[in-house]
A and B are shown apart, each in its own frame.
Chain A
Amino acid sequence: MAGLVVAVGVFLLVQTASLNVPANANVLGPKFFPTVVGILLLVVGGVFAVQALRGVRAEPELDEDIDPDAPADRRALLLIGVALAAHIAALLLLGYIAAAAVLFWGTAFALGSRRYLLNAVVAVALAVVLYVAFTRGLGLTLPRGPLETVLS
C-alpha cells in the first residue's frame, strides 16, 4: 500500500511536469497544486513504508461481517471479479435485467451460497423489480435487451 501511495505521488509529479502551461495562466498555474499533492504523497508514502518495515501495524477496522483472523480468500475475490466483468459484458449485449441477475447470482455464488436455482429466481426477480422501478417510477433509461422489450 505504501508503494502505491508513493507511485501515485510519482505519477502526479511526472504528469505535472509534462503539462503545457498556457501563456494566459496568471500567477499560480495548473501545476502548483498537483505538485503539492504529489510531494505530500511521496512524503507520507515514505513514512508509511518505514513504519510498515518496522512492523507497525494498524488496528484492524471493526466490521460486522469480517473475521479478522481468517486467511484471505483469493477464490472468492476472483469469482467476484468475474461476476463484475460479466455484468459489463451483459449490460452491453443482453440488457439490464440479465446483467443485474448475472451479477447477483455470481456474487452470491462467490460468497458461498450453493442454492443455485433459488438464487437464480431471487436474482431475476430483483433485477426485474429494479428495472421496472427505475425506468417507470424514476424515469431513468437502462439498457434494453430482449427481456426488457417484452416488459414494455
Chain B
Amino acid sequence: MDAAGELLNGFATALTPANLLWALLGVTLGTAVGVLPGIGPALTVALLLPVTFRLDPTSAFIMFAGIYYGGMYGGSTTSILLNTPGESASIITALEGNRMARRGRGAAALATAAIGSFVAGTLGTLALSFVAPGMVELALRFGPADYFALMVLAFTTVSAVLGSSAVRGLASLGLGLAIGLIGIDTQTGQARFTLGVPQLLDGIDVVIVVVGLFAVGETLHVASRLRHDTGQVNPVSGGLWLRRSDWARSWKPWLRGTALGFPLGALPAGGAEIPTFLSYATEKRLTKHPEEFGKGAIEGVAGPEAANNAAAAGTLVPLLTLGLPTSATAAIMLAAFQQYGLQPGPLLFERNASLVWGLIASLYIGNTMLLLLNLPLAGIWVRLLTIPRPYLYAGILVFATLGTYSINNSVVDLVVLYVVGLLGFAMRRAGMPLAPAVIGLILGPVAEQQLRRALAISSGDYSVLVTSPIAAVLLSIAALVVIVPAVARLRARRRAAQEETTAGA
C-alpha cells in the first residue's frame, strides 16, 4: 500500500474517541511538564514514561506523540517568558523572544512560536509520512556492517560535532557506552560488569539513567548553585494574537525554518541546534528590519521555532526507519519502544504497520490540539513559571523516584538512580553534555550486536566492515567529522601563535 493509504489507516486508528483522549492527555501533560523551568523535552518524555506503562502499545505511542510535541512547545514558552536562557536548542528563541516579552510583546512572541510550531510540525510530519517509506526501502538493503557504520557515524556526530568540546562529548559517550555494557552479554550469556549484583544482570534501564542524569543531576546542580534572585516572569494575560504586520513578517520565516529544520533533523547526524542557529542567521540576513534584531525581532522567534519543530519531526525519520536515535529525546522514545518489545527499523513498518501509522497520524492530531490548546490557554501555562523553586525541584525528585521505582518495584533501582544522579551532577560541573551518554547507552549494545553479527557472517574477516559501499561511505564521513574540526582548530591555533610571534618581533 502507498503512503497515503497507510496514513489514512493510521488516522482511522488515531481518531477513535479513546485514542483522541490519550492524545489530548499527552499534549496537555507534555506542555505542562515542558513549561516547568529546568525540565527539557528529554526529561519530560522520561518522567512521563511510567504513566504509559499499563496502556496497550498503540495508545501508549499516541500519547507519547502528544508528549513529544507538547514538551517541545512548553519549552519555548519558558524561554520566551523567563528572562534567563534555558537549554541550548532554545537559546535562539530566548534571544529575540525574551526581548519581545520585555517590550510587552510576549503574547505576539508566544503566538508566532505556537503557530510556527504548528506549521512546521505539520509540514514536517507530512514530509515524514512520505520520506519514511522510501527510507524503509533503503534500510531493508542495509546489512549488519552498514548498521554498525551508521551507528559509528551517529556516535561521532552527536559527541564530537554538537556541543562546545569534542573531548567532553566523547567522554560522555564513553561513559554511556560503559553503562550500556552492564548486564548479560546477549550472544554468550556471560555476565559483564555486574559486580555480582543479581539485579544488574538485565542491565540498567535507560529510563533510570535518563531520569538520573537529567532530573536528579539537575536538582543537585541547582541545589549547589541556586539563583536566589529568581528571574522575573514577563506577564501575559488572556489569549494570544498576532497583528496583521506580525503575520506578514512571520509566514516566510516559518516556511524557511521548516525547510532548514526537517532535512537537517532527518540526517543520521541529527540534532535541533544547528538548524535553529542557521535559521536565525538566515532571518537576520533577509530581514527588512535589521535594526530590530537583538531587540526583539519577530522573525528571530518565528524562524528558529519552526526550525526546531521541523527538526523534531525530522528526527523521527531515522528513529522509526533505522532505529537510530539522534537526540536524547529520540533515545528515550526508542527505549519506550523496547519496553513493549518493539524494535524500530524497517521491519517495524511491516509487522506493526497500524501502530507506526497510528503514531504518525496522531502527530498531526497532536499538533492541531496544541495550537487549539495553547492560543487560548497561554495564561495558565504562564502561572506554572511562578512555582516556588523549592517546590518545583522537590516535585521533580518525587516524580523521578516514583517513575524509577514503578518500573520494577525495586529499591535497588533507586540506588542506581542516585548513583547515576551523582554522575550527572559531576558531568554538569565538568561541562560535559548529557545527550552523548544517553545515545551511547542505548545504541552501544545494538552496535556491538551488529558488529559481531557482521564478523560472524564474514567468519572473522575484518574487511567486511569496509567492503560494503554504504558502510565505507558512512565510516569515512564519521572519520572526517572527527578529524576535520580537530585539524582546523590546530591550524587556527598555529596561525594565532605565528601572528603573536610576528607581532612581538
A binds B: yes
A residues within 8 Å of B by Cβ? 1-2, 4-5, 8-9, 11-12, 15-16, 19-22, 24-30, 32-34, 37, 40-41, 44-45, 47-48, 51, 57-68, 70-74, 76-77, 80, 83-84, 87-88, 91-92, 100, 103-113, 119, 122-123, 126-127, 130, 134, 138-142
- Establish whether residues A70 and B398, one from each chain, have CB atoms under 8 Å apart when the complex forms: no
Chain A residues whose CB sits within 8 angstroms of the CB of B86 once the complex forms: 62-64
**Measured CA separation A39–B192 after assembly (Å):** 17
Residues on A with beta carbons closer than 8 Å to the beta carbon of B460: 27-28
A49 to chain B, nearest CB (A): 10
Q: Given A62-B87, A108-B391, A110-B223, check contact A103 B53 (CB 8 Å).
A: no
Checking B165, B192, B224, B459 against A58 with a beta-carbon cut-off of 8 angstroms, the contacting residue is B165
Residues of B within 8 A of A41 (CB): 171, 174-175, 178
Q: Report A57 CB to chain B, min CB distance, Å.
A: 7
Q: Which of A51, A72, A142 sits near B167, CB closer than 8 Å?
A: A51
Residues in A with CB closer than 8 Å to B225 are 66-68, 70-73
Query: Is B170's CB under 8 angstroms from A44's CB?
Result: yes
A34-B171 in contact (CB<8A): no
Cross-chain contact A30 with B455 (CB below 8 angstroms): no
State whether A73 and B459 are in contact (beta carbons under 8 Å apart), knowing that A12-B178, A138-B51, A141-B409 are contacts in the complex.
Answer: no
12 contacts between A and B (CB under 8 A): A20-B190, A21-B188, A26-B452, A30-B185, A30-B188, A57-B431, A62-B91, A63-B84, A63-B86, A65-B226, A126-B398, A134-B406
Shortest C-beta distance, A27 to chain B (Å), equals 4
Query: What residues on A are CB-neighbors of B226 within 8 Å?
Result: 65-67, 70, 73, 76, 111-112
CB atoms of B459 and A27 under 8 A apart: yes
Contact A104 B395 (CB under 8 A): yes
CB-contact partner of A111 in B171, B223, B402, B428, under 8 A: B223
The residue from B38, B53, B78, B426 contacting A1, defined by CB atoms under 8 A apart: B426
The 5 A-B residue pairs with the shortest CB-CB distance in the complex, in nearest-first order: A58-B431, A1-B430, A113-B390, A107-B394, A111-B390
**Given contact pairs A41-B171, A48-B168, A108 touches B178 in the complex (Cβ within 8 A):** no
Residues of chain B within 8 A of A63, CB atoms compared? 38, 84, 86-87, 218, 221-222
B: contact size bracket: 35 or more
B220 touches A80 (CB 8 A): yes
Whether the pair B174, A61 counts as a contact (CB closer than 8 A) is no
B490 lies within 8 A of chain A by Cβ:
no
Given A12-B178, A27-B456, A60-B431, answer yes or no on A5-B171 (Cβ-Cβ < 8 Å).
Answer: yes
Known contacts A27-B459, A64-B78; can you find 14 more A-B pairs with CB under 8 A? A8-B178, A33-B451, A33-B452, A40-B177, A44-B174, A64-B82, A70-B226, A73-B226, A76-B223, A80-B220, A80-B223, A100-B401, A126-B398, A134-B406
Rounded to whole Å, the gap between the CB of A123 and the closest CB of chain B is: 8
Q: Are A12 and B193 in contact (CB under 8 A)?
A: yes
A42 to chain B minimum Cβ distance, whole angstroms, is: 9
Q: Which residues of B contact A58 (CB under 8 A)?
A: 164-165, 168, 430-432
Residue of B whose beta carbon sits closest to that of A12? B178
Residue B288 at the chain A interface, CB threshold 8 Å: no
Which applies to chain B's interface (DSSP): helix, strand, loop or mixed?
Answer: helix
Interface membership of B393, Cβ < 8 A: yes
What mask results when residues 95 to 123 of chain B are scored 1 for a CB within 8 Å of chain A, else 0? 00000000000000000000000000000
Whether the pair A64, B223 counts as a contact (CB closer than 8 A) is no
Question: With A and B bound together, what is the CA distance between A80 and B228 in angstroms?
Answer: 18
Q: Which residues of A contact B219 (CB under 8 A)?
A: 80, 107
List the A residue with the shortest CB-CB distance to B417: A84
B84 surroundings in chain A (CB, below 8 A): 62-65
From B50, B164, B170, B225, residue with most partner A Cβ within 10 Å:
B225
Cα separation A11 to B391 with both chains bound (whole Å): 39
Interface residues of B in 151-184 (CB under 8 A from A): 164-165, 167-168, 170-171, 173-175, 177-178, 181
In the complex, B470 has a CB within 8 A of chain A: no
B50 and A103 contacting across the interface, CB-CB below 8 Å: no
Q: Are B451 and A91 closer than 8 Å at their CB atoms?
A: no
B414: Cβ under 8 A from any A Cβ: yes
Which residues from chain B contact A61 at a C-beta distance below 8 Å? 88, 428, 431
Q: In the complex where A126-B398, A130-B398 touch, is A65 in contact with B222 (Cβ < 8 A)? A: yes
Cα–Cα distance between A107 and B51 once the two chains are bound (Å): 23
> What separation, in Å, do the CA atoms of A60 and B451 have in the docked complex?
37
A-contacting residues, B171-227, CB 8 Å = 171, 173-175, 177-178, 181, 185, 187-190, 192-193, 218-227
| B171 adjacent to A45 (CB under 8 Å) | yes
Docked CA distance A51–B167 (Å): 9
Closest B residue, CB atoms, query A73: B224
B251 lies within 8 A of chain A by Cβ: no
Select which of A2, A27, A32, A111 is within 8 A of B394 by beta carbon.
Answer: A111
Nearest CB of chain B from residue A69's CB, rounded to whole Å: 8
Q: Which residue of B lies closest to A27 (CB)?
A: B460
Shortest distance from the beta carbon of B250 to any chain A beta carbon, whole Å: 26
B456 with A104: CB separation less than 8 A = no
- A1 to chain B minimum Cβ distance, whole angstroms, is 4
Q: How far is the CA of A9 from the CA of B398 in the complex (A)?
A: 33
B391 A67 Cβ-Cβ under 8 A: no
**Residues of B with C-beta under 8 A to A70:** 224-227
Cα of A2 to Cα of B134 in the assembled complex, Å = 44
Contact flags B476-492 to A (C-beta < 8 A → 1, else 0): 00000000000000000
